[in-house]
């Protein structure tokens, strides 16, 4: 079974000396790659196959040009280390938090200078646009027909999620992964970048009443999900309440003094604590429980857990054994 919890993602890592091989390692996109700079080594490359989703890291040792066209229903979200010489068709890097969206059926022409590290994730475009539209209807009402770039403050969070997952997916770790769960976690992180909300502004008294109504609906929906052992995403909450991510942000700040993402993170921490308290250290590990509840950054998970609950996750798990 392709998405069995016991099956790890397919990871391929190579040091490439031919630009054509850089294109060949990405067969899901029709492209050619040409070496434009000096050097025997062209690229250090890693691809992670999650079935319907691909994660690609490219550390460019020699400058290259990449020319191609995306197939039907495949889009990518990408970013790279800042370099004024980098060019993504007619767009460049204007800010360290610049991200690029490449839609289906779109021709591209990239110039990637030596020393640049690029990362992208490919998605099912229909699913991506459908959920992005829920979060930010105005921005994603229509699917883009050309390359789009913007500055996204949450790009750092996406990059950290991808890096944490990449480290865990390394073959030497030997850790089983639920590919479907990982795909969804990375999609939700990417959607936060795609549907970046504007900053919070103060609300009027009437708006506070509307915020309370929205959050009451959201809370009821979240509780129903928790009762069925499912942790909802921001997309789920927006769809259930019928509001955009921006309105949901405003409502939660007024309602509980935190963002919906923070609220959901605290909910997941509580669910993880309950799971650890009920488990046996002979049957599970802190890492496994953390992954089951959507935490890929185990150091951050442990730190947040201790700040909230006053003890480490391992202490909670061990307490069950002592009792």
Per-residue DSSP letters for 145-212? SS-EEEE-TTHHHHHHHHHHHHHHHSGGG-----HHHHHHHHHHHHHHHHTPPPPP----HHHHHHHH
The kind and range of the H/E element at 117 are strand 117-124
**What pLDDT is stored for residue 176 in this prediction?**
58
Residue 41 near residue 61 (C-beta atoms within 8 A): yes
At 256-303, the pLDDT tens digits run 777 888 888 888 887 888 889 888 888 889 999 998 888 888 889 999
Task: Return the percentage of the chain with pLDDT > 70, whole number.
Answer: 90
Sign for the pseudo-dihedral over CA of 34, 37, 40, 46: negative
The pLDDT of residue 6 is 45
pTM of the model: 0.76
The answer to whether 147 touches 89, Cβ cutoff 8 Å, is yes
Which pLDDT score, from 0 to 100, does residue 205 have? Answer: 56
Which residue numbers in the chain have pLDDT < 50? 1-6, 197-203
- Specify the pLDDT at position 181: 82
Residue 190, token pair as written in the block: 């990417």
Residues 6+ apart with CB under 8 A from 73: 104, 124, 125, 126
Q: In this structure, what are the phi and psi dihedrals at residue 53, rounded to the nearest 5 degrees?
A: -140, 140
Cross-strand pairs, 79? 119
pLDDT at 69: 96
Which helix or strand (DSSP H or E) is residue 8 part of? none
Q: Which residue segments constitute the domains of the chain, with CATH numbers given?
A: 10-193 (2.60.120.10), 199-322 (1.10.10.60)
Residue 175 has a pLDDT of 55
User: Which pLDDT does position 166 carry in this prediction?
Assistant: 81
What was the pLDDT predicted at 3?
Answer: 43
């Amino acid at each position: 079974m392709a998405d069995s919890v016991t099956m790890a993602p397919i990871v391929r890592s190579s040091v490439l000396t031919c630009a054509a091989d850089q294109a060949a390692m990405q067969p899901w996109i029709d492209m050619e790659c040409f070496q434009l700079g000096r050097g025997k080594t062209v690229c250090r490359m890693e691809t992670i196959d999650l079935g319907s989703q691909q994660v690609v890291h490219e550390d460019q040792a020699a400058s290259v040009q990449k020319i191609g066209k995306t197939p039907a229903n495949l889009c990518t979200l990408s970013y790279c280390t800042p370099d004024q010489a980098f060019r993504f068709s007619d767009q460049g890097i204007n800010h360290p938090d610049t991200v690029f969206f490449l839609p289906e059926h779109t021709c591209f022409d990239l110039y990637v200078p030596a020393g640049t590290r690029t990362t992208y994730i490919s998605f099912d475009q229909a699913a991506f646009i459908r959920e992005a539209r829920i979060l930010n209807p105005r921005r994603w009402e229509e699917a883009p027909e050309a390359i789009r770039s913007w500055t996204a403050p949450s790009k750092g969070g996406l990059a950290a999620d991808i890096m944490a997952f990449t480290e865990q997916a390394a073959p030497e770790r030997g850790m089983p992964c639920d590919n479907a769960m990982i795909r969804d976690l990375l999609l939700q992180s990417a959607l936060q970048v795609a549907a970046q909300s504007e900053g919070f502004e103060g609300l009027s008294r009437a708006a506070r009443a509307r915020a309370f109504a929205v959050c009451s609906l959201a809370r009821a929906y979240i509780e129903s999900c928790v009762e069925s052992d499912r942790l909802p995403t921001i997309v789920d909450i927006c769809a259930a309440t019928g509001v955009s991510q921006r309105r949901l942000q405003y409502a939660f700040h007024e309602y509980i003094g935190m963002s919906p993402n923070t609220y959901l993170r605290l909910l997941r921490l509580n669910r993880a604590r309950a799971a650890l308290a009920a488990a046996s250290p002979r049957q599970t590990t802190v890492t496994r429980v953390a992954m089951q509840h959507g935490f890929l950054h185990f150091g951050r998970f442990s730190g947040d857990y201790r700040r909230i609950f006053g003890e480490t996750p391992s202490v909670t798990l061990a307490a069950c054994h002592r009792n």
